Structure 1
Amino acid sequence: MKNRSAAVWALVVVALGALVFIYRDRIHFDWPMFWQQLKHVDTVHAMAGILLIYTTYWLRAIRWSVFVKPMKNVGVGPLVGPQFTGFTAVALFGRLADLSRPYLVARKLGLTLSSQMAVYTLERMFDLGAAALIFSSALAFAPKDTPDYALFMKVGRGSLLLTLAIAIFAGVVRVAGGAVASFARTVLSPLSKPIAESIAEKIEGFRDGLRGLKSFGELALVTVISLVMWGMIASAYVQTAHAFVHTPELANLTFSRAMLLMAASIGGSLLQLPIVGWFTQIAVTATAMHAFYGAPIEAATACGAMLLAVTFLCIIPAGLLCARLDHVSLKKIAEESEEAGKEVVAAEVEQGSR
């Protein structure tokens, strides 16, 4: 498995190097201007963005404590470390380490990994719903004098429809999650039985998580936390752009217009490879800022690098400290969580085939 992953990453690096070599004469990039942009970054705005991002990890710990309450009544404190360590593992080892957080929580609280994978699925669904609602509202109610207003309205309304679809799906799963999971298992099994079983299990986990929220107060608390958290993430994008005070296209960026940048950034991070993914992430956000806002490519690239540091890499120092305090090896945790996740899915497939 490790050899295959190494081969894939090596292939990606070679392909990127080949593209740069082939188009080297067509790329006009002013490196002195790039460094000049980074040199004049407003540290107050950048630090504000980092503070917002760190607060979201604390909010994630609070939300996880609500999700896990039906299994074990635990305070927020023990859950903060796994959030820091887990996101650090993702930053260093890519999306293959995505299960590090549920793995660490399960190990720390003495719970099963399958139960925490269900919490992880529930967390992701609330993330998706909250991000879609903030994104669509910001775009749909953008001022009429916003450049490309028609495009903003179209994207915003489409996102509102997506948010509504997520809400309806959540309601259906809450009432008849077993039937939905069985339908998904039946339809997808001819294509791939492991994938079908994995999706069905995620639907069942989402149902169980929703049913675990016993009161309207708990549901409202989780919803509010999710909305506040994603509002802070969006604000961190705005603060980072405003740090480039010598580039008007970025320094004057509004919250509404920042939504397209956040969407591009999230899309670029979905299939992130270790280290290499950092540069692809910068390229995606830089291209978005250059295309959407007309920012010079050097300033856009510098802002893309700063966005990566503020929204993704800033957790690494705290994560390394938490890992050391908990006597955890990040690489080992990333590998163990991936293997344990496969074992859980394999057990589900075997159980479903009986």
Structure 2
Amino acid sequence: MPLFILLPDKSGRGTTGPLGRYSGIRKEHKRWLTAGLILLVAVVLLFALRWRKEEFDWSLFGSTLLKLRWSWLAFAALLGVSTYYARALRWAVMLRHLKDRPNVWGLFSATAIGFTAIVLLGRAGELVRPYLISVKEKVPFSSQLAAWLIERIFDTLAAMLIFGFALTQTAKVSLPPDSLLAWILRTGGYLAGLASAVSLGVFVAFQQSSETLSKRLGDALGFLPGHLHARVSKLLESFVLGVRCVRDRSSVFALSAFTLAEWILIVASFAACFRAFPALDPLGLGPILVTVGFVAVGSLIQIPGIGGGSQLMIIVVVTEIYNLPLEIAGGLAVIVYFITFIVILPFGLVLLVAEGLSLKRLRELEAQELA
């Protein structure tokens, strides 16, 4: 994943004015974004049509979007932006051992710009955020890569819990209670929850004696081929460095609390998206949690910079589990894409320009840092 940061040139003034930089960004990516969104909708709908072998009613799809409750959409967008602020607060916890008072607004700015880079550049923009934070807070870049890894771990654990719940609820809703498949889904859900709890316990154990456990794991994996062993050892070193970002149990508790807050906001944002569709009124909190659980897993399957897996999961859940028309499911998939993925773009672009940054220069400095 390349890393990009835009800073002024040697004169301190930058190569162009803010408006020029913004115009360049806009011109460079406007067509790409438009094509990407069209491709996203086309791929998702064509896949769904081929899979379900039925025609798509464009008039129903259009009327579904025209009947949207815009007040709920605005609320969903507000909640969506709030999730990024929750991420900034959580990141501040991982900076405490390096800085007494991290600048939360600076962390939010870096978060907004970082996710904007992901929207515009795909997974190549993943490391923009830790790099910007390392520059803003004047801390080692390696420490922020480690913090990024810990963040991913906590989000994965939360996603596993919700996915486990989704599996148990799917078994109740769509299958006979005594069927083998229902038992498999229920068991899988319980195992996902158990795995999440055990993983958190392992994290706490590493926190207490990270270097010793890392060395023992490295020795135990000595049978791996040289290049693979080197990669695993490097990953363990990054993990140990990340664990050092969380030096006491109060920090683990704070990370867990902010992760919980973030996912509550995510679920609330999905709930607001559901309420924006009159046709989805019969679906309560349970179906919304099921959708979030499957979407969390679907997010692992992505068209770079566009998405896709999450939208497909929404269509599968809404049509196959809750038996609603494909057109409504497709409309929900498009709206959720904008609320969860695109909503940060205006904020990120404004902050990018306000801080005198540009994506091109960001790429160059990232490449230098990772070289």
TM surpasses 0.5: yes
TM-score normalised over the length of structure 2? 0.75
Instruction: Provide the secondary structure at the position in 2 that maps to 1:220.
Output: helix
Aligned residue-pair number: 322
- Which residue number in structure 1 is paired with residue 109 of structure 2? 81
Would you say the 8 A contact 1:139–1:257 is kept in 2?
Answer: no
Segments of structure 2 that go 5 or more residues without pairing to the other structure are 3-35
Instruction: Provide the secondary structure at the position in 2 that maps to 1:210.
Output: coil
- Which residue number in structure 1 is paired with residue 193 of structure 2? 160
1:261 counterpart = 2:288: no
Would you say the 8 A contact 1:82–1:104 is kept in 2?
Answer: yes
- Which residue number in structure 2 is paired with residue 270 of structure 1? 300
- What are the superposed Cα offsets for residues 278-303 of structure 1, whole Å, 9 maximum, x if unpaired? 34543342233212221211110110
Q: 1:26 to 1:101 in 2, by over 3 A?
A: same
- Which residue number in structure 1 is paired with residue 241 of structure 2? 205
Q: 1:333 to 1:271 in 2, by over 3 A?
A: farther
Q: Structure 1 CA distance, aligned partners of 2:66 and 2:187?
A: 38
71, 92, 95: which one pairs with 1:65?
Answer: 92
1:50 counterpart = 2:80: no
1:282 counterpart = 2:307: no
- Which residue number in structure 2 is paired with residue 222 of structure 1? 255
- What are the superposed Cα offsets for residues 224-273 of structure 1, whole Å, 9 maximum, x if unpaired? 1111111111221122122111x2xx323222222332233223323533
Bigger RCO (CA 8 Å, 6+ sep)? 2
Q: Structure 2 CA distance, aligned partners of 1:282 and 1:27?
A: 18
- What are the superposed Cα offsets for residues 83-106 of structure 1, whole Å, 9 maximum, x if unpaired? 111111112222221111101101
Alignment of 1:229-308 (within 5 A): 229-245=262-278, 247=279, 250-275=280-305, 277-308=306-337
Q: Structure 2 CA distance, aligned partners of 1:66 and 1:233?
A: 20
Would you say the 8 A contact 1:53–1:232 is kept in 2?
Answer: yes
Would you say the 8 A contact 2:147–2:242 is kept in 1?
Answer: yes
- What are the superposed Cα offsets for residues 172-203 of structure 1, whole Å, 9 maximum, x if unpaired? 21133224433246355546255324422232
Would you say the 8 A contact 2:211–2:240 is kept in 1?
Answer: yes
**Further displaced range: 235-244 or 316-325:** 235-244
- Which residue number in structure 1 is paired with residue 356 of structure 2? 327
Instruction: Provide the secondary structure at the position in 2 that maps to 1:263.
Output: helix
- Which residue number in structure 1 is paired with residue 203 of structure 2? 170
% identical equivalent positions:
25
Q: Structure 1 CA distance, aligned partners of 2:364 and 2:318?
A: 35
Q: Structure 2 CA distance, aligned partners of 1:282 and 1:137?
A: 20
Deviation at 1:52, TM superposition (A): 1.4
Would you say the 8 A contact 2:166–2:293 is kept in 1?
Answer: no
- Which residue number in structure 1 is paired with residue 14 of structure 2? none
Q: 1:27 to 1:340 in 2, by over 3 A?
A: farther
**Further displaced range: 191-200 or 316-325:** 191-200
Would you say the 8 A contact 2:163–2:297 is kept in 1?
Answer: no
Q: Return the letter of the residue paired with 2:106.
A: P
- Which residue number in structure 2 is paired with residue 6 of structure 1? none
Would you say the 8 A contact 2:166–2:290 is kept in 1?
Answer: no
Instruction: Provide the secondary structure at the position in 1 that maps to 2:302.
Output: coil
107, 116, 122: which one pairs with 2:150?
Answer: 122
Q: Structure 2 CA distance, aligned partners of 1:174 and 1:35?
A: 53
Would you say the 8 A contact 1:87–1:319 is kept in 2?
Answer: yes
- What are the superposed Cα offsets for residues 198-231 of structure 1, whole Å, 9 maximum, x if unpaired? 42223212321232xx4x4433222211111111
Would you say the 8 A contact 1:180–1:203 is kept in 2?
Answer: no
Q: Return the letter of the residue paired with 1:34.
A: F
Q: Return the letter of the residue paired with 2:210.
A: G
Q: 1:147 to 1:268 in 2, by over 3 A?
A: closer
Deviation at 1:64, TM superposition (A): 1.1
Q: Return the letter of the residue paired with 1:29.
A: F
Q: Return the letter of the residue paired with 1:109.
A: E
- Which residue number in structure 2 is paired with residue 348 of structure 1? none
